[in-house]
Structure formats: structure tokens, C-alpha cells
């Protein structure tokens, strides 16, 4: 008798929604849902009326102003550098290609501390100005970083690499045929850039920009340090200073609305049909040689961006740290706490991201549920998620000051960053053709076996990237950690913020530099990996 | 071979929304035989394969192994429980496993040493034992496809389904890989399906051929049956080139050889250059196509014909030649519309 199929029982065709997706969606989405519902139900009253009549408009306009200015600055920093790095030969091009990603390692609040010191009356810039001109501090006007433009500048410095990366990828993928056709039709380099390259790369640029602006809207550390009254600062104040968490949650609605509007705008930009590439010959265009003056001008432009966004502020922190010595309070405990929390948070976020991505492969409903919940978690600033967790803590008998808060903090990290981990995982999964799974099925591998023996090993490259991204993002997280950590249980981010807020900047430099250093390793790895992938593509 | 069972598609249909892709298709894959499923792109061939493999549910009809129902409207045995081997155009080798572990993948319940022994034995059968430790990216296309065939056969499947397995290969590799692979499939004695859009490949490699169009199986039989006795114009065209000639345009000597009809559909080899023949033609064009010479001829009444010659001399345009008709390559067929 031949080896017959092991079971001829007719299995039911209806596929139920994977429980795993539902659980993951619930874990990810619960904090934001609870925060918003509580805000809706209990966030009214006198305090709310007071905020509406006195501060709401200010918070909103300030936030929108910061977003607008940040967007302009990001475009100014990211698009030209990506264009020149992708398509022109100039001194140091290979270095700038990866070095321009480095600012991703530095959180916005760290840049704020550093730039605020650089531009301070007693800081190096104004000191040099006074020494060279002989003026006194009262004799001249100097721009203040403690302003909407100042915050926008800092956020653009910290976040422009998101748009730089997507724009660079888009420019590198421009069809050689399209570019050559445009040149043969007499398009000047300027027209080529404005009429061909920018429209083709617009969806990609907008995707990076939307991500950067969502992070800008969610920022608390830099805005509070620079004293700019954004919605995030308002939410934190409503919770911390006014002890009105429900009012804070209601304020969070606006922030979520902004995040969703950005996501919607990004999708709308991506969905436009007329800007899709149609040529099939995909080859990275050969980089152009330009005149000597132009080459050095491009070099100067790229150098300026890198100096402003990374070299100056990080050097200043290193200088301050070296100048004042490293013995500022205990650093190892916060360091250990940061690593522990980042490891636990990224592990949970990784598992959730895996559940979302695997669920998405099962059926469309799971895909939709997973995407919405992960997207909602990512769109919700850490401050909002932390409010959700605080509400849950207050309804239970757990103490906000006890270890339960740490568990909740890990949960909030996972809720916030699952989408960031799901992205590279999903990309790695989608690189594996469907025939792999079919082949495994035909060889008798059931769902779990396929996951363990085929899907996961194939997705390992993406899994490593996902884990690194999650770890760094969590390491940098400030507002949720600030709100949920038990008393006297500091992380590097919290310690840096606490010192900086107390105007003990020298003491804040070490934790700030440690966060940057921890972020640098994976960012450099990621950057080199992306650059190598680009080179391999253009060689192929 | 008597213990092997046929894999049967019995009146199966599959639709996506309102679009029917497979329509009441019936096909029996007999043990020890390779059946080629031939058709143009979008004919429904790969969907029928997926229905047989259990990768998709049927909307109508049944898939059976012998008398055991694998798929029906009420449910189906999952693909992973059917033990039906699949071979893909893109080879579908697991990139994280070397050749020997790929081949051993389907032997999960077997002890490790035994699994490796069986896998190595299969690699050896397909001439790849020296590549056992190579990873897929280190193997050539032909080697990858042989590993994928070894992998499918090592699991002792009850049937094997191949979806355009050789079309991803370089032409120079194709014939060798195909020969080695199909010999191994034939030796296994199980029912085998070879989905293809290449008529010459299908006729050369398969014991039986089925032609599919618009989700319907038009005809099934041996390659000779289908080539020489197509039941429709679509089947005749699927198996090779045709020329349509009206009876009134034919030379008188040929008309008498054929039954009465308005139009005849001729294979190119129906008209061959023969100095002993009675009908004369002028050569309009001629070209050498590998082993044969293809000719465009015109007779004195203006009728045009396509003929072949085995050579060795290629008649040149303007030359006068004589040609004969082989009636067995001339068909009277209902048109597509009918």
C-alpha cells in the first residue's frame, strides 16, 4: 500500500481569524483606546473648559507651526543632499552617503540640550562673536533656540534622515530610461530635478517626511526643554501639574488627529497614479561629473547639514563632558535600567510584530486588524499611551510606584514601537516567494512548522534589523518612561532630562552621550547595509 | 506499480468573484504516466494544479486520490496532509538550508542519520551528490531545479505536480535537466502533471496531453492523438502551427485526396517538396529553420501554401518546385465559434 495522505478527514474550509492576531491587536491597541475613551468620557469639566478657553488654541497653533517649519527644514536638509549623493560625484560622496544618517542616533532632546548650550549667551558662538567684535551681550540681537523656529531646527536636525533615506532610495531607483529621455529632450539639470526627479520621488519623500513629522508631534523632551508650548507639553502639564489625567487624555485627541492626518496625507500622496514609474529598465543612473566649483559647493552643502545636525552638537556634548569630568552621580544603574527596559520592551514588541506580520499572511481581516492596531500604537505619542497605562493602573490595585509600573512601561514601549518592528519583518517575509510556503505545505509542514522551519529562518535578516530598530527606539524614549517609571528608577533618558531640566547640563552630557553611542552602532550598521544594498543594486 | 492510485479532478470549477478560472474541468492523472497540461497564459492550468494540490478550494466538483476525496464543496484535506509533491518554476528552495537539508525537509519524522542517507541517495540519483552541502545561491539554475525535484520525490509523494518546471532554465541546460528530472519522476511510478505552455516540450515529455482554454479542458489523449486528431481548431493550434486553405484554392490533384469540406487546416508538414509529385508551384520565399526548410509557395491560380522540405538544397525564390500533400496532416475542424 502506498503512503496515503495521513488524514482524509475533510477539514472545514472556513478559516477562523487567528487568535494570535486578535491578542496582539488588543495588547497593542488597548492603551491608546483606553486613553482616548477615558478622555472622551471623563475629560470634561472645569479644567477642560479652562484649557479650551486659555491654552488649547495656543497649543494647537504652536504644534502646527512647529510641524510646518520642521517640514520645510527637513525638505531643505534631506532632498538636496539625497539628490546630490545619489546622482553626482563630489569629494566625500561615499562618506556623506552613510554619514548623513548618523543624526538618527541622537534623540531630539539631546540635540536641544547641546544646541541650547551652543547658542547660549555664555556659549561658544556668542562668546566668539563678542570676542571678535568687542560688543557686549546687550549690543546685538542673537536668535534664541527657546522658540518655535529653534525647536523646529532641532527636530529637523534629529529627524531629517528619515526623509533623506527615502528620498535617496527613490532617486537611486530612478529609471535610467526616464532620465536619459528627459536629457535627450533638452532638460537642464535643474529641470530634470524639478520636473522629473521630484515628482517621481514625491511619494517616497513624503513617506519619510510624514514619519519625521509624527515623531516631531510626539516629541516632549525637546519641546519642554526649550519651553515651547506644544500639545505634548500641554498634555504632560495637564497630567503632571494640574493632576488632570482625563483632561490630558482629551487633549491627546488632537495629537492623535494630527498623526492620523499625516498618515492619511502620506497615503494620499502615495496613491496618485500619475507618478508611478513605468519603465522596466531599472538601473541606477551613472553619477554625473560636475564642474570643480559645483563639486565643492555640493561638498560644502552636505558638510553644513552634517555639521549642524550631528558634528557640532555631539562634539559640544563631548567637550562639556570632558571639561567637567565624568563623575556626575551614578551612571551605571540608569545605564543598566535602560538596557533592561530596552531589551524587555524590544522583546515584547518583536513578538507582537511577529504576530501582526504572521497574522497578515493568514487573511485580509487579520492583516487589516494588525495594521490598524500597530498603526494606532505608532501614531499615538508615548505620552498618550502612558496615560492609558496610568488609567489601567489606577483601576487596579497595582501601585504606580511599584514594579508593576515597569511591566506597564514595557507594554507601552511594545504598543508604541510594534509598527516600527513590523515594517522590516514584513519586508523580509515578503521577499520570500509564496512558492516557498507552498513547497513546505506540499512536504507536509503544518502552519507552526512552516513558521519555525521556513518563515522565521528566511526572515532572519529582517528580524535582526527589526530587533535593532526596536532596541534603539526604546532606549531613546522619554515621555512614557518619565510618566511610568517607579520613583528613583531612572533610565539614561530620564536622567539626562532631569539634569538638563535642572540646568545641570554638564551632568546631562554623559547619559545623553551614552544614548547617542548606543544608537550609533546600529545606525552605522543599518547605514552601511543600505549603502551596500544600493551598490549591489546599481552593479546588478 | 499497481499500488499507486490515480489523482482525479472530477468536474472541478474555481471562480474568483464572478470570474470563472476553471470550469468543470475533469482530468485523470494515471500512475506511472506524465500528463502534460497545455494552454496559453490565463487558460487556468496553474489554478487547476493548485486545486489538485489543495492550495485552493474547489467551488464545484471533486479532487480524488483513487476513491478518497481530497477536495469537495464541503471541505478539503489541507495541502500539507495530501503528500502531493510540487515543483515550481522558481524552484522554491529554502534559502537557509543546503541541498541535503532541502531534500530532507519532507522527511521530518525520520531520524536524522536516516534522513541524510535518504536525501543523499536522492541527490545521487539526480547527479548532485557532490553538491550536497551547497546552499541554493551557490547552485546553478539546473542544479536548483534538480534539488527541488529530489526534495519532492524524497518525501515519497502520492503524486507530483510540476508548474512550468523548466521554463526558468537556460535553453542550453534545459534538455539535460529535463531528461534527468523526468526520468526520476517516471521511475517513481506515481501520477505526474506537467503544466506547460510549450507544445513541443509537452509532447516530447508527456505520456498524455490535455489542452486547456478559458478554464475548460478541450481534449485529452496521447500526444499523437491530439496532434493528428484534434477535436477543435483551438486544440490543433495549441499543438503546433496551422495554415487554413479553402478547398477551391487547392490543386485538383490534392482535392481528390481529401473528404469534402469548405476549409482544411494543414500542419506545415502536410505539404512537402517532392520531385515526383504532380502539382507545381513557384517559390515565393524560403528560409532554413534549423533541421527543416520552410517555404512559401504559390500555384498558377494564385493559391498560397506553406510547405517544408528536408533539404539539403534550399529552393530559392522564383524557383519552380513540385509538392505533395499528406492527408493525415490535414484536418476538417469546427471553428472556435462553433
Q: Is A55-276+286-326 the same fold as A19-42+329-503?
A: yes
Q: Which of B5, B76, B85 sits opposite A442 (nearest CB)?
A: B85
- Same-domain pairing of B234 and B248: no
SS3 for A433-466, per residue? CHHHHHHHHHCCCCHHHHHHHHHHHHCHHHHHHH
Q: How far apart are the first and last CA of chain B?
A: 42
Q: Which of B1, B6, B67, B92 to mutate to test the interface with A (most CBs of A within 10 A)?
A: B92
Distances (CA, A) of A192 to A133, A178, A186, A195, B316: 45, 10, 9, 6, 54
Pair A238, A55: CB distance under 8 Å: no
- Same-domain pairing of B116 and B257: no
Say if the Cβ atoms of A444 and B155 lie within 8 Å: yes
Is residue B96 a part of any domain in this protein?
yes
Say if the Cβ atoms of B77 and A440 lie within 8 Å: no
Pair B102, B151: CB distance under 8 Å: yes
Residue of chain A with shortest Cα separation from B90: A435
- Same-domain pairing of B146 and B53: yes
Distances (CA, A) of B132 to A177, B2, B103, B123, B180: 43, 33, 9, 7, 17
Is residue B336 a part of any domain in this protein?
no
- Print pLDDT tens along chain B (338 aa): 447 899 999 999 999 888 899 999 999 999 999 999 999 888 999 999 999 999 889 999 999 999 999 999 999 998 888 999 999 888 888 888 899 999 999 988 889 999 999 999 999 988 899 999 998 888 888 899 899 999 999 999 999 999 988 887 777 777 788 888 888 888 999 999 999 988 988 898 899 999 999 999 999 999 999 999 999 999 999 998 899 998 888 888 888 888 888 899 999 889 988 888 888 899 999 998 878 899 999 988 888 899 988 878 889 999 999 999 998 899 988 765 44
Q: Final residue of a domain: which of B238, B271, B290?
A: B238
Burial of A16 (C-beta count, 10 Å sphere; 0-12/13-18/19+) = exposed
* Torsion A233-A235-A238-A239 (CA) sign: negative
**Could you give the CA distance from residue A287 to residue A297 in angstroms, rounded to a whole number?**
16
pLDDT in tens, B88-98: 888 888 888 89
Is residue B337 a part of any domain in this protein?
no
Could you give the angle at which helices B112-125 and B141-154 cross, rounded to 10 degrees?
A: 130
Q: Please, what CATH class does the domain formed by A55-276+286-326 belong to?
A: mainly alpha
pLDDT attached to residue A281: 34
Determine how many CB atoms are found less than 10 A away from the CB of residue A155.
29
Determine how many CB atoms are found less than 10 A away from the CB of residue B60.
17
Q: Which residues does chain B have within 8 Å of residue A432's beta carbon, measured at their own beta carbons?
A: 95
Domain count, chain B: 2
Could you give the angle at which helices A364-379 and A403-431 cross, rounded to 10 degrees?
A: 130
- Same-domain pairing of B227 and B298: no
Residue B207: phi and psi, rounded to 5, are -80, -35
- Same-domain pairing of B185 and B60: yes
Q: Which residues does chain A have within 8 Å of residue B55's beta carbon, measured at their own beta carbons?
A: 438, 441
For chain A, 540 residues long, the average pLDDT of each consecutive 10-residue run is 43 54 87 87 80 90 96 96 89 90 90 94 91 88 94 96 86 64 69 77 84 90 95 90 84 85 78 40 55 90 96 93 70 88 92 83 75 78 88 79 83 88 75 82 88 80 72 87 86 91 86 87 72 50
Residue A330: which of A342, A320, A322, A338 has the closest Cα?
A: A338
* Torsion A148-A151-A153-A159 (CA) sign: negative
pLDDT attached to residue A178: 62
Residue A456: which of A352, A358, A349 has the closest Cα?
A: A358
Q: Please, what CATH class does the domain formed by A19-42+329-503 belong to?
A: mainly alpha
Say if the Cβ atoms of B68 and A5 lie within 8 Å: yes
Say if the Cβ atoms of B86 and A12 lie within 8 Å: no
Say if the Cβ atoms of A5 and B81 lie within 8 Å: yes
- Same-domain pairing of B200 and B252: no
**Could you give the CA distance from residue A8 to residue A490 in angstroms, rounded to a whole number?**
59
Q: What cell does B48 get?
A: 487547476
Determine the distance in angstroms separating the CA of A452 from the nearest CA of chain B, rounded to an integer.
12
Distances (CA, A) of A387 to A231, A487, B11: 14, 17, 60
Q: Which of A10, A435, A460 sits opposite B90 (nearest CB)?
A: A435
Query: Under DSSP, is residue B1 helix (H, G, I), strand (E, B) or coil?
Result: coil
Pair A73, A153: CB distance under 8 Å: yes
Give A299's contacts (C-beta < 8 A, 6+ positions apart).
Answer: A90, A91, A92
- Same-domain pairing of B317 and B197: no
- Same-domain pairing of B87 and B200: yes
Determine how many CB atoms are found less than 10 A away from the CB of residue A22.
16
Say if the Cβ atoms of A5 and B77 lie within 8 Å: yes
Domain of residue B265: give its range.
Answer: 243-331
Is residue B338 a part of any domain in this protein?
no
Q: Final residue of a domain: which of B207, B238, B269?
A: B238
Q: Final residue of a domain: which of B210, B238, B266?
A: B238
Give A203's contacts (C-beta < 8 A, 6+ positions apart).
Answer: A170, A269, A270, A272, A275
Q: Which of A10, A439, A460 sits opposite B92 (nearest CB)?
A: A439
The β-bridge partners of B63 are B9, B71
- Same-domain pairing of B20 and B107: yes
Say what the pTM is: 0.68
The full set of domain ranges for chain A reads 19-42+329-503, 55-276+286-326
- Same-domain pairing of B90 and B208: yes
CATH assignment at residue B120: 3.40.50.300
pLDDT attached to residue A327: 57
- Same-domain pairing of B253 and B142: no
pLDDT in tens, B227-264: 999 999 999 999 988 999 988 888 888 888 888 888 99
pLDDT in tens, B162-208: 998 888 777 777 778 888 888 888 899 999 999 998 898 889 889 99
Amino acid at each position: 500500500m502506498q503512503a496515503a495522505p495521513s488524514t482524509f478527514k475533510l477539514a472545514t474550509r472556513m478559516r477562523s481569524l487567528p487568535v494570535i492576531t486578535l491578542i496582539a491587536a488588543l495588547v497593542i491597541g488597548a492603551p491608546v483606546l483606553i486613553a482616548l475613551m477615558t478622555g472622551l468620557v471623563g475629560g470634561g469639566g472645569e479644567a477642560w473648559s479652562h484649557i479650551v478657553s486659555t491654552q488649547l488654541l495656543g497649543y494647537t497653533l504652536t504644534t502646527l507651526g512647529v510641524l510646518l517649519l520642521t517640514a520645510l527644514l527637513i525638505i531643505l536638509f534631506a532632498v538636496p543632499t539625497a539628490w546630490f549623493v545619489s546622482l553626482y560625484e563630489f569629494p566625500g560622496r561615499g562618506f556623506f552617503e552613510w554619514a548623513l544618517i548618523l543624526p538618527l542616533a541622537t534623540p531630539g532632546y539631546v540635540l536641544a540640550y547641546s544646541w541650547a548650550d551652543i547658542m547660549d549667551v555664555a556659549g561658544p558662538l556668542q562668546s566668539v562673536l563678542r570676542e571678535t567684535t568687542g560688543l557686549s551681550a546687550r549690543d546685538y540681537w542673537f536668535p534664541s533656540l527657546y522658540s518655535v523656529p529653534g525647536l523646529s531646527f532641532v527636530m529637523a536636525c534629529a529627524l531629517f534622515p528619515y526623509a533623506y533615506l527615502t528620498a535617496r532610495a527613490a532617486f537611486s531607483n530612478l529609471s535610467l530610461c526616464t532620465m536619459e529621455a528627459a536629457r535627450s529632450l533638452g532638460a537642464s539639470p535643474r529641470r530634470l530635478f524639478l520636473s522629473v526627479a521630484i515628482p517621481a520621488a514625491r511619494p517616497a519623500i513624503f513617506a519619510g517626511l510624514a514619519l519625521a513629522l509624527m515623531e516631531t508631534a510626539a516629541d516632549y523632551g525637546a519641546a519642554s526643554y526649550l519651553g515651547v508650548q506644544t500639545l505634548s507639553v500641554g498634555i504632560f502639564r495637564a497630567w503632571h501639574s494640574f493632576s488632570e489625567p482625563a483632561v490630558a487624555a482629551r487633549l491627546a485627541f488632537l495629537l492623535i488627529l494630527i498623526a492620523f492626518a499625516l498618515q492619511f496625507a502620506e497615503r494620499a500622496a502615495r496613491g496618485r497614479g500619475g507618478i508611478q514609474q513605468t519603465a522596466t529598465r531599472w538601473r541606477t543612473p551613472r553619477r554625473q561629473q560636475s564642474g570643480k566649483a559645483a563639486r565643492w559647493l555640493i561638498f560644502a552643502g552636505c558638510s553644513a547639514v552634517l555639521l549642524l545636525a550631528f558634528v557640532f552638537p555631539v562634539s559640544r556634548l563631548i567637550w562639556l563632558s570632558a571639561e567637567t569630568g565624568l563623575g556626575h552621580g551614578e551612571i551605571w544603574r540608569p545605564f543598566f535600567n535602560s538596557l533592561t527596559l530596552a531589551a524587555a520592551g524590544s522583546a515584547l514588541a518583536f513578538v507582537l510584530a511577529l504576530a501582526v506580520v504572521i497574522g497578515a499572511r493568514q487573511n485580509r481581516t487579520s492583516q487589516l486588524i494588525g495594521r490598524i492596531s500597530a498603526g494606532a500604537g505608532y501614531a499615538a505619542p508615548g505620552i498618550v499611551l502612558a496615560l492609558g497605562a496610568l488609567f489601567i493602573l489606577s483601576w487596579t490595585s497595582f501601585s504606580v510606584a511599584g514594579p508593576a509600573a515597569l511591566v506597564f512601561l514595557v507594554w507601552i514601549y511594545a504598543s508604541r514601537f510594534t509598527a516600527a518592528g513590523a515594517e522590516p519583518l514584513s519586508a523580509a517575509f515578503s521577499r520570500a516567494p509564496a512558492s516557498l510556503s507552498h513547497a513546505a505545505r506540499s512536504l507536509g509542514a503544518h502552519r507552526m512548522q512552516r513558521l519555525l522551519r521556513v518563515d522565521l529562518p528566511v526572515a532572519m535578516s529582517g528580524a535582526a534589523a527589526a530587533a535593532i530598530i526596536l532596541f534603539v527606539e526604546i532606549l531613546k524614549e522619554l515621555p512614557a518612561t518619565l510618566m511610568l517609571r517607579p520613583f528613583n528608577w531612572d533610565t539614561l533618558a530620564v536622567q539626562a532630562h532631569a539634569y538638563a531640566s535642572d540646568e545641570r547640563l554638564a551632568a546631562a552630557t554623559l547619559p545623553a552621550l551614552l544614548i547617542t553611542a548606543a544608537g550609533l552602532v546600529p545606525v552605522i550598521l543599518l547605514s552601511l547595509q543600505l549603502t551596500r544594498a544600493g551598490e549591489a543594486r546599481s552593479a546588478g | 506499480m499497481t499500488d499507486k492510485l490515480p489523482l482525479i479532478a472530477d468536474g472541478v470549477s474555481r471562480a474568483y468573484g464572478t470570474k470563472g478560472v476553471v470550469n468543470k474541468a475533469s482530468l485523470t492523472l494515471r500512475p506511472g504516466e506524465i500528463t502534460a497540461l497545455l494552454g496559453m497564459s490565463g487558460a487556468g492550468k496553474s489554478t487547476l494544479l493548485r486545486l489538485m494540490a489543495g492550495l485552493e478550494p474547489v467551488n464545484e466538483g471533486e479532487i480524488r486520490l483513487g476513491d478518497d476525496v481530497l477536495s469537495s464543496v464541503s471541505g478539503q484535506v489541507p495541502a500539507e496532509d495530501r503528500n502531493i509533491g510540487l515543483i515550481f518554476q522558481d524552484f522554491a528552495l529554502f534559502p537557509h538550508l543546503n541541498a541535503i537539508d532541502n531534500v530532507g525537509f519532507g522527511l521530518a519524522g525520520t531520524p536524522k542519520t536516516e534522513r541524510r542517507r535518504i536525501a543523499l541517495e536522492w541527490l545521487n540519483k539526480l547527479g548532485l551528490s557532490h553538491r550536497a552541502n551547497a546552499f541554493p545561491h551557490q547552485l546553478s539554475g539546473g542544479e536548483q531545479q534538480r534539488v527541488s525535484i529530489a526534495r519532492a520525490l524524497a518525501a515519497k509523494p502520492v503524486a507530483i505536480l510540476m508548474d512550468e518546471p523548466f521554463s526558468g532554465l537556460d535553453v542550453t541546460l534545459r534538455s539535460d535537466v529535463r531528461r534527468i528530472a523526468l526520468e526520476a519522476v517516471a521511475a517513481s511510478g506515481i501520477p505526474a502533471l506537467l503544466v506547460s505552455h510549450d507544445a513541443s516540450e509537452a509532447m516530447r515529455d508527456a505520456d498524455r496531453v490535455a489542452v486547456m482554454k478559458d478554464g475548460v479542458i478541450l481534449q485529452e489523449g496521447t500526444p499523437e492523438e491530439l496532434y493528428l486528431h484534434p477535436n477543435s481548431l483551438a486544440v490543433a493550434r495549441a499543438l503546433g502551427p496551422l495554415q487554413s486553405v479553402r478547398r477551391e484554392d487547392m490543386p485538383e490533384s490534392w482535392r481528390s485526396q481529401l473528404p469534402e469540406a469548405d476549409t482544411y487546416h494543414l500542419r506545415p508538414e502536410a505539404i512537402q517538396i517532392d520531385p515526383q509529385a504532380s502539382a507545381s508551384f513557384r517559390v515565393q520565399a524560403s528560409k532554413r529553420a534549423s533541421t527543416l526548410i520552410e517555404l512559401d509557395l504559390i500555384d498558377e491560380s494564385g493559391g498560397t501554401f506553406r510547405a517544408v522540405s528536408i533539404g539539403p538544397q534550399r529552393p530559392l525564390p522564383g524557383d519552380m518546385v513540385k509538392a505533395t500533400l499528406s492527408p493525415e496532416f490535414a484536418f476538417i475542424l469546427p471553428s472556435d465559434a462553433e
